[in-house]
């Protein structure tokens, strides 16, 4: 959510930003917001004026009563009563106008960074850099489910009976590899100076409203029936919610956290064979990184954060690249975003395994997260980034360390987390 003062003073910039995000249907909202903002300030001015008149009248009543002029005092009391009625009516009108203004401001997209490439969809995303040479084999790479099944590592049939499509049982060494990757990612980030956190896996609706747009919520979130609770789609939601309504001490910034959680997503619109199996699922686990910092530091942290993910994947021998998200591919709260994509020898292309986002002060403004400054309080900046999200990243790991016989080399950095196991062999 952008600053209403900024919108009021720079409507053309806000409208151009909307056009850059190819959301022309939202252009009328800018003028509507300006109109409602004007009404809000007008009502507040009227209320303030009436309260001033009421205060003077109240003082006059006291004076008249002391002078024994009861009849005149009663006239003043009637005037005060009428003023109170007007103030009550204006206060009720103000609540409605402010609610409508907030509703509109919540859907006007955040101002994107000047460096963001302009384009309507993800086909306009721009490659930044590649890391490690893409893996190529002289044999055909099986579909990832076939690789895992050959290793005795998955049971989808039982999961369908228990929970339906989009769920799985990971088994044996594949389950252990899944946990090993998460444990390695946890320690990797701790060694970078981040504090490890296990957050609540459910959040209230006011936190949901603060961390994401309604469209994202509808596409992602599972609601707990009969409760004001949602299952988190990523630990970022819970971690940023940790600071709701807080005034932060400058001396303690930045807050740098790496959080583990299961994640629950509806995954509406998932399609295609490569997005089935364990690529797009309703439940997975993830190691995340979150930073809450000074506004002037957020872009420096943005660069650090996605490079940490690249460093992690390279340490596991997985070729990857960074991809700059274009304007039309950015969620409304984001200022800038970089995707990290891993190489798939099967598909002969890169696929997304993580995303790093700078949200500026959008989430902080929605959630009331301020920094205590010498000249007044101001909003913090928030950032989030995927460290690693198995089982999706398992696809990249397995495909890039595969042998023709179906065996898998375990990256050396994972050996301590696999009890010394260095290779996975197909189950006979």
Please state the pTM of the whole predicted model.
0.90
* CA-atom Rg of the chain in angstroms: 28
Please state, in angstroms and rounded to a whole number, the distance separating the CA atoms of residues 316 and 401. 10
Structure token digits, residue 268: 């509406």
Alpha carbon separation from 387 to 208, 281, 337, 338, 409 (Å, rounded): 22, 18, 15, 13, 22
The answer to whether domain 4-105 and domain 122-424 are alike in fold is: no
Nearest Cα to 259, choosing from 200, 304, 176, 341?
A: 200
Please state, in angstroms and rounded to a whole number, the distance separating the CA atoms of residues 126 and 400. 24
Would strands 195-197 and 255-264 be described as parallel, antiparallel, or unpaired?
parallel
Please state, in angstroms and rounded to a whole number, the distance separating the CA atoms of residues 11 and 16. 9
Would strands 283-293 and 126-131 be described as parallel, antiparallel, or unpaired?
unpaired
Tokens 């439940």 correspond to what residue? Answer: 283
Helix (H) or strand (E) holding 278: none
pLDDT at 68: 87
In CATH terms, 4-105 corresponds, of 3.60.10.10, 1.10.260.40, 1.10.3720.10, 1.10.287.40, to: 1.10.287.40
CATH 3.40.1160.10 is right for the domain spanning 122-424 = no
For 193-241, the DSSP string reads TPEEE---SEE-HHHHHHHS-HHHHHHHPEEPTTSS-EE-SSHHHHHHH
What residue segments make up the domains of the chain, in order of their start? 4-105, 122-424
Tokens 């900024």 correspond to what residue? Answer: 6
Please state, in angstroms and rounded to a whole number, the distance separating the CA atoms of residues 22 and 329. 10
Alpha carbon separation from 150 to 173, 394, 405 (Å, rounded): 12, 15, 10
pLDDT at 65: 85
Chain CA centroid to CA 96, Å: 28
Please state, in angstroms and rounded to a whole number, the distance separating the CA atoms of residues 59 and 264. 61
pLDDT at 273: 45
pLDDT values of the chain reduced to their tens digit, one per residue, 428 residues: 899 999 999 999 999 999 999 999 999 999 999 999 999 999 999 999 999 999 888 888 888 888 888 888 888 889 889 999 999 999 999 999 999 999 999 999 999 999 999 999 999 999 999 999 999 999 999 999 999 999 999 999 999 999 988 899 999 999 999 999 999 999 999 999 999 999 999 999 999 999 987 777 777 889 999 999 999 999 999 999 999 999 999 999 999 999 999 999 987 555 454 556 787 789 999 999 999 999 999 999 999 999 999 999 999 999 999 999 999 999 999 999 999 999 999 999 999 999 999 999 999 999 999 999 888 999 999 999 999 998 889 999 999 999 999 999 999 999 999 999 999 999 98
Would strands 247-249 and 349-358 be described as parallel, antiparallel, or unpaired?
unpaired
């Amino acid at each position: 959510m952008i600053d209403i003062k900024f919108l009021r003073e720079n409507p053309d910039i806000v409208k151009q930003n909307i056009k850059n995000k190819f959301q022309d249907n939202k252009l009328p909202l800018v003028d509507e917001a300006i109109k409602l903002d004007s009404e809000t300030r007008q009502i507040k001015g009227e209320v303030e004026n009436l309260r001033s008149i009421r205060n003077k009248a109240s003082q006059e009543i006291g004076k008249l009563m002391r002078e024994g002029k009861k009849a005149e005092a009663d006239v003043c009391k009637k005037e005060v009563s009428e003023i109170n009625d007007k103030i009550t009516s204006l206060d009720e009108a103000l609540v409605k106008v402010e609610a409508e203004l907030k509703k509109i401001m919540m859907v006007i997209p955040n101002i994107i960074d000047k460096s963001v490439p302009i384009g309507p969809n993800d086909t306009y995303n721009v490659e930044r850099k590649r890391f490690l040479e893409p893996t190529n084999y002289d044999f055909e790479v099986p579909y990832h489910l076939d690789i895992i099944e050959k290793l005795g590592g998955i049971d989808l049939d039982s999961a369908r009976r228990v929970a339906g499509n989009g769920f799985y049982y990971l088994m044996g060494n594949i389950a252990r590899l899944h946990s090993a990757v998460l444990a390695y990612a946890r320690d990797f980030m701790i060694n970078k100076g981040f504090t490890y956190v296990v957050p609540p896996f459910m959040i209230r609706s006011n936190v949901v409203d603060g961390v994401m747009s309604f469209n994202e919520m509808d596409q992602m979130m599972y609601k707990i029936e009969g409760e004001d609770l949602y299952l988190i789609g990523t630990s970022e939601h819970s971690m940023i919610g940790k600071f709701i309504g807080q005034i932060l001490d400058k001396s303690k910034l930045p807050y740098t956290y790496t959080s583990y959680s299961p994640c629950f997503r509806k995954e509406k619109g998932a399609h295609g064979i490569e997005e089935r199996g364990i690529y797009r699922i309703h439940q997975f686990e993830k190691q995340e990184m979150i930073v809450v910092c000074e506004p002037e530091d957020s872009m420096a942290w943005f660069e650090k954060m996605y490079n940490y993910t690249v460093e992690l994947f390279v340490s596991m021998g997985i070729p990857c690249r960074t991809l700059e998200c274009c304007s039309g591919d950015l969620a409304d709260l984001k200022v800038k975003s970089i995707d990290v994509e891993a190489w798939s020898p099967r598909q002969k292309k890169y696929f997304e395994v993580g995303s790093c986002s700078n949200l500026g002060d959008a989430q902080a403004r929605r959630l009331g997260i301020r920094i205590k400054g010498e000249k007044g309080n101001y909003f913090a900046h928030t950032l989030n980034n995927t460290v690693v999200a198995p089982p999706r990243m398992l696809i990249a790991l397995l495909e890039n360390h595969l042998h023709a016989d179906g065996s898998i080399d375990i990256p050396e950095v994972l050996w301590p987390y696999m009890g010394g196991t260095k290779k996975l062999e197909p189950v006979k």
